[in-house]
C-alpha cells in the first residue's frame, strides 16, 4: 500500500479542538513533526480536515 508523508508546518494554537485532535491522531504535536501514514480514505479524510496546517508528500 502507498504511504504519504505528513509534516506540520503551522501552529495548532487557535485551531478548533477537532482539528487539534485530528493532528494529534496523526502523530503531529509540534511544528516540524513528520509522520508516515498509509494512503487510504481514512487518512485522506484526516488530511483534508487540517490541510491548511500541513504539507503532504509521497513517502
**Chain centre to alpha carbon of residue 31:** 11
Q: In the chain, what are the domain boundaries? A: 3-58
Under DSSP, is residue 57 helix (H, G, I), strand (E, B) or coil?
Answer: strand
pLDDT of the chain, 59 residues: tens digit per residue: 899 999 999 999 999 999 999 999 999 999 999 999 999 999 999 999 999 999 999 98
Residue 59's pLDDT is what? Answer: 84
Beta strands in the chain (DSSP E): 3-8, 34-38, 54-58
Superfamily (CATH H level) for 3-58 = Ribosomal protein L30/L7 (3.30.1390.20)
- Nearest C-alpha neighbor of 34 from the set 4, 12, 14: 4
Residue 1's pLDDT is what? Answer: 80
Amino acid at each position: 500500500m502507498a504511504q504519504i508523508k505528513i509534516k506540520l508546518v503551522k501552529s495548532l494554537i487557535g485551531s478548533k479542538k477537532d482539528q487539534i485532535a485530528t493532528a494529534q491522531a496523526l502523530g503531529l504535536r509540534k511544528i516540524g513533526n513528520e509522520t508516515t501514514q498509509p494512503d487510504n480514505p481514512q487518512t485522506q479524510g484526516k488530511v483534508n480536515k487540517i490541510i491548511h496546517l500541513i504539507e503532504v508528500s509521497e513517502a
